[in-house]
């Protein structure tokens, strides 16, 4: 159940706590780019004494070790993502959904010709998603 998450934390020499395991598990099993608040609300059901600060702290430590990523796509709040290969994101203005765009830009390296050291790449697209376009037409 939790062994896989224990393993991840151990590999990164992060102290193991139930809260961190739950946050990590939640992100692994909910790939819809939740906010810190959504994670907090969900985990509070099984652990009513959970603190919002703990969720933020857990997200921070997981992010620092590159186990998860945060997205700044919305501009008002951060979204969190279980780390996978580089991919991009589409934000639908209508329904608010954030959809994975599973293509890396093959020309990405060209952007780096300025001599900067690039550690993160974010591709954000915004518009109206396929489903909302369909609804509109009906």
Partner DNA sequence: TATAAAATTGTAATAGTTACAAATTTGTAA
Partner DNA sequence: TTACAAATTTGTAACTATTACAATTTTATA
Buried b (16+ CB within 10 A) or exposed e, 22-39: bbbbbbeeeeebbebebb
What is the pattern of x (binds DNA, CB under 7 A) and - over residues 49-68?
xxxxxx-xxx-xx-------
Stretch 11-30 residues interacting with DNA (CB under 7 A): 14-20
Residue 5 — φ and ψ, nearest 5°?
-80, -35
Rg (CA), the chain: 17
Exactly one of 36, 92, 98, 129 binds DNA (CB under 7 A); that residue is 36
State the binding partner of 137 from DNA, a copy of itself, none, CB within 5 to 8 A by kind.
none
Our CB check for a copy of itself shows the closer of 19 and 70 to be: 70
Nearest to 8, CA basis, from 58, 70, 78, 71? 58
Residues near a copy of itself (CB under 8 A) are 70, 72-75, 78, 88, 90, 92-93, 99, 101, 103, 105-108, 110-112, 114-130, 133
């Amino acid at each position: 159940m939790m062994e896989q998450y224990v393993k991840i934390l151990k590999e990164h020499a992060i102290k193991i706590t139930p809260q961190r395991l739950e946050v990590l598990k939640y992100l692994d099993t909910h790939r819809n780019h939740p906010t810190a608040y959504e994670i907090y609300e969900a985990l509070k059901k099984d652990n009513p004494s959970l603190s919002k600060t703990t969720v933020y702290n857990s997200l921070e430590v997981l992010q620092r070790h590159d186990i998860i990523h945060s997205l700044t796509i919305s501009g008002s709040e951060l979204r969190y993502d279980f780390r996978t290969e580089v991919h991009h994101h589409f934000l639908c203005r209508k329904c608010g959904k954030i959809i994975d765009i599973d293509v890396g830009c093959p020309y990405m390296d060209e952007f780096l010709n300025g001599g900067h050291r690039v550690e993160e790449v974010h591709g954000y697209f915004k518009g109206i998603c396929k489903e909302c376009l369909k609804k509109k037409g009906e």
